[in-house]
Amino acid sequence: MYSCKYLEYEPLYWNKTHPSTNCYSYATNIESIIDEKDEDGEYLMLQPGDLSNNYGETDHDCDSILRKVYLDYPDMEPSSEYEPIDCNRHKIALAVDTLGETDYHFWRQDSNGLWSHKPGSEEISNVDGSGNLIFSPYLSDRNYDKENSDEYNYEKFCGYFSILTKSRSSKKLEGVI
Tell me, letter by letter, the H, E, C secondary structure of the chain: CCCCCCCCCCHHHHCCCCCCCCHHHHHCCEEEECCCECCCCCECCCCCCHHHCCCCCCCCCHHHHHHHHHHHCCCCEEECCCCCCCCCEEEEEEEEECCCCCEEEEEEECCCCCEEECCCCCCCECECCCCCEECCCCCCCCECCHHHCCCCECCEEEEEEEEECCCCEEEECCCCC
How far is Cα 32 from Cα 13, in angstroms, rounded to an integer?
13
pLDDT at 15: 87
Burial level of 46, CB count in 10 A (0-12/13-18/19+)?
buried
How far is Cα 92 from Cα 74, in angstroms, rounded to an integer?
14
pTM score: 0.89
Residue ranges per structural domain of the chain: 11-172
pLDDT at 5: 58
Give residue-wise pLDDT tens across range 35-63. 777 888 777 788 899 889 887 777 889 99
Q: Which residues, other chains included, contact 104 with Cβ-Cβ below 8 Å and sequence gap of 6+?
A: 23, 48, 60, 65, 94, 95, 96, 97, 154
List per-residue pLDDT tens for the chain, 177 residues long.
545 657 999 998 888 877 778 999 999 998 877 777 788 877 778 889 988 988 777 788 999 999 999 999 999 999 999 999 998 999 999 999 987 668 899 999 999 999 999 987 889 999 999 999 999 999 999 998 777 666 778 999 999 999 998 876 655 555 554
